[in-house]
Amino acid sequence: MAKRLELRVGPAADALDRFEAAWNRLAEGRPVRALQVLTFENLPLLLKRLSPARWALLAALRQAGPLSIYELARRLGRDYKNVHTDVAQLTALGLIEKDAEGRVAVPWDLLHAQLAL
């Protein structure tokens, strides 16, 4: 089964609504489906956090598998410091994970975007 992350644009209250719905399902004894959702307040913020350079970084890393930041920067033909900054930001968002050896990888098979007006 593919590991999927939902990218959404909407108010922070949406996350609270999802939490409350899961809590109620659990209290009623119904099964709770694990959701992996990353919500951005608005589209400009999503585009700032996932700039074209960061998207290319994610795509290259997903294709290559776990790499050191140095190797990733070399493969992308980018400055190490800028790649390091991008990796730190993407890690904070949960889009990249770091393993015990310090290599970084994309844990997701699919990023699914949902943009509501």
Cα torsion 63, 107, 115, 32 to 10°: value is 150
pLDDT given at position 27? 84
The CA distance from 86 to 55, in Å, is: 10
CATH of 4-115, one of 1.10.150.530, 3.40.190.10, 3.50.50.60, 1.10.10.10: 1.10.10.10
Length of the chain: 117
pLDDT given at position 29? 85
Average of per-residue pLDDT values in the chain: 88
pTM tops 0.85? no
Average pLDDT over residues 63-91: 97
pLDDT given at position 91? 95
**pLDDT tens-place string over residues 10-62:** 877 776 776 777 778 778 888 766 668 888 888 899 999 999 999 999 999 99
The CA distance from 48 to 43, in Å, is: 9
| Two structure tokens written together for 98 | 């770091």
Average pLDDT over residues 102-108: 95
Secondary structure tally for the chain: helices H, strands E: 5, 5
> Comparing 114 with 69, which gets the higher pLDDT?
69
